[in-house]
Amino acid sequence: MDTSSGAGFRSKLDYGSGLFRIRMKIPEKKTEGIVTCFYLTSAPDNQEPGNHFELDFEFLGTNGTVQTNVYDYDGGHREQSFKLPFDPSQDFHTYGILWNPSQIVFFIDGIPIRVFKNNSAQGVAYPSKAMHIEASIWNADWAGPVDWAQAPFVAHYQDFDFYACPTQNDDVSICGNGHYFWNRRRHLELNDEQKQQMKSYRSAYMTYDYCSSPSTSKQECSLN
């Protein structure tokens, strides 16, 4: 992207559950303000999103920090950020999102780094509308000033790979069926090895967690 254009793509269909993965390499020219992302969203195209569901991977600038976020039919503000143990501009890495009726899991290179559980029984909203997939590169004032002298900024995507339940309306209940492998027992909760992997990753690389401050913490923080 440069001062006159950004770029992005989206899936043709909407989905109600699935396992979504892509390999990304962010721009190597160093700057703030450039956001390279991969996400699922229920927000309509070319409209103000309003309250909606969204699951985000967002690189804020090109310093190697990735932010995850969950919009729970609201404005989001559930950020958890990580300073990665590798340079994401120098090679491709795999970023994945699992969404099933029990949990949402964010993965980096197959390692779970974040879980958002279905706590709807406790009054916490959980994605109940179909979402499509988007990936894009754009500039955001809230992510810092862009050094436009470094433009153009080029992001690379490859191996867009997903297994998902397509739906043509907002009823995602049909996508909770157990004949989809990602809805089966082994995917409804992390196993002990995955829990330890996530604990170690978060301990080593997490730089921000909305649950850590009373001013930003939300109900699910005591449940997840």
Catalytic residues: 54, 58
- Residues 4 and 148: their CA atoms lie apart, in Å, by 11
- Residues 144 and 129: their CA atoms lie apart, in Å, by 32
> CB under 8 Å, gap of 24 or more: what pairs does 82-89 form?
82/108, 82/113, 82/201, 82/202, 82/205, 82/206, 82/207, 83/205, 83/207, 84/108, 84/205, 85/204, 85/205, 88/24, 88/25, 88/26, 88/59, 88/64, 89/25, 89/26, 89/27, 89/28, 89/62, 89/64
- In terms of Cα–Cα distance, which of 23, 19, 1, 134 is closest to 71? 134
Identity (one letter) of the amino acid at 142? Answer: W
Measured in residues, the chain has a length of 224
Cα torsion angle, 73, 120, 214, 61, sign:
negative
Cross-strand bridge partners of residue 117 = 103
